[in-house]
Structure 1
Amino acid sequence: MGAAMCKLSDKVGQHVKKRSPGCKYACHAACRDRVSLDCHPAASPFSQDQLNNNTLLQDVEKERELRTEFNREEIRQKIEQYNSLTKDHLKMTLNPTGVYTGFIKVQMDLRRPVTVRGGQRGAGGALVGEAFYLPRGVTNTLHISSNNTVRQVIVALLSKFTVQDNPAKYALYKRYRREEQVYVCKLADGEQPLFLRLVAGPDSDTLSFVLREQTGEVMWDAFSIPELRNFLRILDKEENEQRDAVLRRYDSYRRRLQEAMRDLRGPS
């Protein structure tokens, strides 16, 4: 019955619904005429929905603010405000053309190995890449302009680490905190990370960037034969390391058991 107080007769059954505003219950058809309702809702039944809608609208407005364009004077004011708040001396600069430059930090969160340019040449004379895992959580700082898009930032990051992989395998995500909740959202290729940084301010809790692989099924067809062979070599190496670790652990157990048995037997 929710937030309502209802007066019912002694015999209340099931199966037939009888309603009044703010109250729901079911009674037997034979009992319907003997049941009276005197419901007084404590609040409007739509108040919670309205509250949820208002919260949703606020979230939409906040999200829309990150997509709003500003004129030159507004940009200048926001840059001044940004520079006054930054604590790491990575300030933004407004150029006479209206384009501004600044820094963004991108956390590398890659789960699969990457292929980097190596110094060895294959049979055809081309440089053969080497595959390895980038340390997860490492942060890289890029100096970009307000014209640079997400796709250009991804290409610049891969180039900085000399990664040969196709940039289409990766995506840039924004991570932001709202009301003690952390959200992660994939950015479109055409979005401008420096503009998002400017609007959000320098606080990394308010907004940060993360580079990850594209979500979904791994498209193995997108990898070249040398890349796939490198992956197999990495898996073989990890398998050997795990096997050796297990053997060392059980060798240690065996020695300790043998020592304990000798101690129990005593001197021979």
Structure 2
Amino acid sequence: MTDCERLDMTWGSSASSGYCSQSDSEHELEQFYTARTSLRKTKRRKEEDEPVDCRKQELSLSEIQQKVKEYNAQVNSNLFMVLNRDGSYTGFIKVQFKLARPVSLPPPRSTSSSSSSSGRDGGCQEDKALKHRTSFYLPRDTVKHLHISSSTRAREVIKALLKKFTVVDNPAKFSLFERSERQNQVYLRKLADDEHPLFLRLCAGPNEKVLSLVLKENETGEVNWDAFSFPELQNFLRILKREEEDHVRQIVRRYALARDKMKEALKNFSTPG
């Protein structure tokens, strides 16, 4: 049994069901320096601010024991870490969803006995299911707690999160990010597929400002589109078209409102006699 299959997942501050529109005003500061600092100063400052922690080194068994003890002493809930005799450990991580695009859910299961079919008919039914997916926005405040082990990798966490929400999108579309706050700046770092999120949580401690985990989409250029099926690509194109139309409507509405205000101002404008 793989680590991913051993995941024991519990609801966090759970996502509300239904649809959610994205707010244009919700933008996060994702920069490493301000416009006032020069590039030379920025590089030097970044090196000085770079934290030195256990994430860059291997920990011995005694060091892990000490870290687990210190971590549990700071926890104000029952989300403790448990150390095993072999030096591995289990614990909880909290992942916040910050998805800008809608996700796809499978169509409702048919009550007919179609599941017994196989071969060519089964492949045809799978294509039909992909075409009839339901797309919707996950609320921006969606949070999930996962109970994982120290050997669980970032890619397994992503797959588990999507499975829990029955999201059928390819996991390659998403990445897990490490988010931290230092000196009124927000830093985001994309986790490699083979990194261990629980190890990062242990090293940083339970403080969410020091480190939190965020699930986001990959940049368009980072997605391997050849890995998707034809119905999936068609579904992406439909979503992009819908977003483009919504964006155009917002722009037209904004300019129409500005035009009406200017016309109203012209009507109230009194010419000198």
Structure 1 residue aligned with 2:125: 125
The superposition leaves residues 192-218 of structure 1 with CA deviations (integer Å, 9 ceiling, x where unpaired) of 100000010000000001111112436
SS state at 1:88 partner: coil
Match of 2:162 in 1: 158
Q: Does 1:144 align with 2:148?
A: yes
Is the Cα contact below 8 Å between 2:103 and 2:135 reproduced in 1?
yes
Aligned to 2:209: 205
- 1:159-197 superposed Cα distances (whole Å, 9 cap, x missing partner): 111122221111111001122321111111111100000
Identify the residue that residue 189 of structure 2 maps to in structure 1: 185
Aligned to 2:20: none
> What's the counterpart of residue 95 of structure 1?
84
CA shift for structure 1 position 75: 0.8
Matched, 1:226 2:215: no
Question: Within 2, Cα distance between the matches of 1:205 and 1:74?
Answer: 23
Q: Quick check: which has more Rg, 1 or 2?
A: 1
- Relative to structure 1, the CA distance from residue 226 to residue 132 in structure 2 (aligned partners, 3 Å threshold; closer, same or farther) is farther
Q: Percent identity?
A: 48
Tell me whether 1:82 sits opposite 2:82 in the alignment.
no
Give yes or no for the alignment of 1:62 onto 2:55. Answer: no
CA distance in 2 between partners of 1:123 and 1:77 (Å): 53
Q: C-alpha separation between the residues in 1 aligned to 2:225 and 2:136?
A: 17
Paired residues of 1:113 and 1:231 also in contact (CA < 8 A): no
Structure-1-length-normalised TM-score = 0.63
Question: Does 2:121 correspond to 1:116?
Answer: no
State the 1:123 CA deviation: 8.6
For the residue of structure 2 that corresponds to 1:119, the secondary structure is coil
Find the aligned partners of 2:161 and 2:213 in 1 and give their Cα distance: 12
Deviation at 1:131, TM superposition (A): 2.2
Rounded Cα–Cα distance in structure 1 between residues aligned with 2:68 and 2:92: 12
Q: Which has the higher contact order (CA 8 A, sep 6+)?
A: 2
Larger strand fraction of residues: 1
Provide, for residues 60-85 of structure 1, a one-character-per-residue CA deviation record: whole Å limited to 9, x for no partner.
x526x322211111111111111110
Query: Using a 3 Å threshold, how does the CA distance of structure 1 residues 113 and 227 change in structure 2: closer, same or farther?
Result: farther
CA distance in 2, matches of 1:137, 1:151: 22
Distance 1:230 1:83 in 2: 45
1:3 equivalent in structure 2: none
Give the length in aligned residue pairs. Answer: 202
Match of residue 34 from structure 1: none
Distance 1:55 1:171 in 2: 24
State the one-letter code of the partner of 2:168: Q
SS in 1 for 2:65: helix
Whether the aligned pair in 2 keeps the contact of 1:130 and 1:230 (CA below 8 Å) is no
RMSD: 3.7
Q: Which position in structure 1 is the counterpart of 2:177?
A: 173
C-alpha separation in 2, matches of 1:212 and 1:160: 16
Please give the alpha-carbon distance, in whole angstroms, between the structure 2 residues aligned to 1:228 and 1:53: 44
| Structure 1 letter corresponding to 2:155 | R
SS for the counterpart of 1:148 is coil
Instruction: Give the residue type in structure 2 aligned to 1:225.
Output: F
Structure 2: gaps (5+ residues): 1-39, 111-121, 257-273
Cα 1:54–1:219 shift into 2, 3 Å: closer
SS of structure 2 residue aligned to 1:124:
helix
Do 1:108 and 1:210's aligned partners in 2 also have CA atoms closer than 8 Å? yes
Say whether the 8 Å CA contact 2:172–2:224 is kept in structure 1. no
Q: TM-score, normalised by structure 2?
A: 0.61
